[in-house]
Amino acid sequence: MLKVKLLLPSIIMSIFLITGWAYSDTIIVNNLGNSGDGSLRWAMEKANTNAGSDTIRFNVYGTISPTSFLPAITDNETVIDASSQWAGEWPEGKPGITLDGGKDVDGLLIDGADKCHIRGLYITNFVESGVSISGAGKFNTIGGTGIGYRNVISGNDGYGVVINAADSNVVSGNYIGTDVNGTTAMINLYRGVVIAEGAQSNTIGGTSAGERNIISGNGFMGVDIHGSGTNSNVVSGNYIGMDVNGTAAMGNISYGVSISEGARSNTIGGTGNTIAFNGDNGVVVDGINTDYNKISKNSIHDNAGLGIDLVDDGNDEIPVPTITSAVLTENMLKVEGTIAGADAMVEIFETDSFASGEGMTYLGSLTADGSGDFSGDIDVTEKELAAGDLITSTTTHTDNNTSEFSLPTDIAVAEVCECDLTNDGKCDMQDWLLFGEDWGHTDCNEPNVDCECDLNTDGKCDMQDWLLFGEDWGRTDCP
């Protein structure tokens, strides 16, 4: 029995070593210095040499100013968690730990490690990028939706976040290019977010408000996706060029989003981004073989250039659809058009202005037939559309190439026959009988009272309604 007891610890340890199981350690940073016991550098070195998951936490507040590059994170499941040091009541306030590169060193790097998480930090003044993921690192998260998980990644001399040759990572809930309040630009000099070198299936943003990144105020581009093999990435639910409230202009200096150099099958939207107030185009797709990039359900407006610009055969420069008719009947908008492409999805938007023709408010979508013609009704309840408002459209072909916005088209309001109470297209005796059923009522606005004859909706069935009813009597062509 004693021999069994003595062997048991060795057996358990062998199981851990063989299977890869390991203890999860918490490493505490209590030293704001560049190095030494309790420093962030010391903690990162310790995490890299300790097999298994490690969480680096802080029990100090303030600024850490590395004088040389911090160690790359190379061990899987390493978490740098400053969320407990958040200063102020979430979601207001600011990170309690600042990493300040002093314009001399590069920022945090996840190099080949998987399932790591960086959260709750203010990352600024690094010479190249604030945070980078490379070396085929997968399933890493920058930010997140938990209390205090937001990073502020701003004021760096190069880029905010860079993902190179790494797949299936998530960047969500961060402020990239703004101050800690999300209301003032604090420029990352070149770009806010870069996805490149064949990086695939990464997500910038998400489907909920908490996953939204504010990617605004950056030099040149907000989001840059480029390079052959840089495919199947998703940018969704973000504010790109706006403040945290989604109202004030804080444009990136050039494009909101750029896809170029052979990047394919990326999605901008789905859960729509708001891409506004940028210094050039809202979205640009540029270059031969930069194809099959879907741009869907975004609010794109008030950019200095086009809302969507296809350049040098980007997305095969597919032609824009043509809206031939847009007629509003109460809360239904009937849209007809052509040149959408066979079986394509046509998205309809209210524009910001005739001059730019950008799609500011997504209204709905229709499916084209095999000839590329489209026709259908879109429910626009609560959209407050009126005669003379302008709509535009994009088409997305079955291969996911999305077009530029079409030329804006005026909305017409359908002529209504007030007397066609049966909605059969005619004003005849069936309508007369319905009209007469409640004649003389003065309580039509009371609950549970429905007066067919109260055409002017003033609560009474009287001569004013009679005159309205008689205007189109006898028509057989009511819309």
Could you tell me the CATH number of the domain that includes residue 325?
A: 2.60.40.10
**Bridge partner residues of 321 (DSSP):** none
Domain count of the fold of the chain: 3
Residue 219 and residue 259 in one domain: yes
My answer on whether 155 and 59 are in the same domain is yes
Sequence length of the chain is 479
What pLDDT is recorded for position 100? 98
Tell me whether residue 6 is in a domain.
no
Q: Using an 8 Å Cβ cutoff, are 410 and 398 in contact?
A: no
- The pLDDT of residue 107 is 97
Residue whose entry in the numeric block shows the structure tokens 């340890």: 13
Is the same domain home to 409 and 430?
Answer: no
Domain of residue 323, residue span: 319-414
Q: Are residues 377 and 425 in the same domain?
A: no
Token pair, residue 472, equals 């189109």
Single out the residue in 399, 414, 429 at which a domain terminates.
414
8-state DSSP, 121: E
Residue 3 maps to a domain: no
CB 369 within 8 A of CB 398: no
Which are the contacts of 330, defined by CB distance < 8 A and separation ≥ 6? none
Q: Are 115 and 179 within one domain? A: yes
- Which residue in the block uniquely carries the two structure tokens 């017409």? 412
**Strands across the sheet with 322-329, in order?**
374-379, 332-338, 322-329, 412-413
- Do 115 and 171 belong together in one domain? yes
**Does the pTM of the predicted model rise above 0.95?**
no
- Please give the span between the terminal C-alpha atoms of the chain, in angstroms, as a whole number: 93
For residue 15, being part of any structural domain is answered with no
Q: At what angle do helices 429-437 and 463-471 cross, to 10 degrees?
A: 170
User: Is the same domain home to 372 and 405?
Assistant: yes
Q: What is the mean pLDDT of each run of 10 residues along the chain (479 residues)?
A: 44 38 77 97 97 96 97 98 94 96 95 98 97 97 98 98 98 98 97 98 97 97 98 98 96 98 98 96 98 98 96 98 94 96 98 81 98 97 92 98 96 77 81 80 80 82 81 74
In a domain, 189, yes or no: yes
CATH number at 426 reads: 1.10.1330.10
In a domain, 2, yes or no: no
Query: What is the pLDDT, as a whole number, of residue 458?
Result: 87
Residue found under tokens 């704001």: 32
The backbone torsions φ and ψ at residue 124, rounded to the nearest 5 degrees and listed phi first, read -150, 160
| Buried/exposed code over 347-378 (b: 16+ C-beta within 10 A; e: otherwise) | bbbbbbeeebbbbbbbbbbbebeeebbbebeb
The verdict on residue 17 lying in a domain is no
In a domain, 423, yes or no: yes
Which whole-number Å values give the CA distances from 263 to 164, 234, 397, in the listed order? 13, 12, 17
Report the candidate in 164, 147, 175, 156 with the shortest Cα–Cα distance to residue 219. 156
Predicted pLDDT of residue 354: 57
**Positions of E strands within 10-96:** 25-29, 54-58, 62-64, 78-81
**Radius of gyration in angstroms for the set of CA atoms belonging to the chain, rounded to a whole number:** 29
Strands (E), 36-157: 54-58, 62-64, 78-81, 97-100, 108-111, 117-119, 121-124, 129-134, 141-143, 152-153
Q: Are residues 355 and 309 in the same domain?
A: no
Same structural domain for residues 110 and 29?
yes
CA 419 vs CA 73, 428, 429, 431, 435: distances in Å: 74, 8, 10, 7, 8
For residue 136, tell me if it sits in a domain.
Answer: yes
CB 455 within 8 A of CB 465: yes
Helix, coil or strand: residue 65: coil
Residues paired with 100 in a beta bridge: 124
Q: Note the helical H segments in 179-317.
A: none
Is 263 in the same domain as 344? no
CATH number at residue 152: 2.160.20.10
Task: For residue 41, give the amino acid letter.
Answer: R
Nearest to 108 by CA among 147, 384, 98: 98
Distance CA 17, CA 206 (A): 37
User: What residues are paired with 196 via a beta bridge?
Assistant: 164
Nearest to 372 by CA among 336, 332, 400: 336
Mark whether 226 and 340 lie in a shared domain. no
| Token pair belonging to 155 | 């004021």
Integer Cα distance of 417 and 475 in angstroms: 8
**3-state class of 226 per DSSP?**
strand
Indicate whether 253 and 145 sit together in one domain.
yes
Q: Which of 318, 353, 374 is the last residue of a domain?
A: 318
- Pairing type for strands 390-396 and 409-410 reads antiparallel
Residue ending a domain, among 290, 318, 346, is 318
Nearest to 158 by CA among 177, 179, 183: 177
d(C-alpha 17, C-alpha 51), whole Å: 10
Beta-bridge partner residues of 269: 296
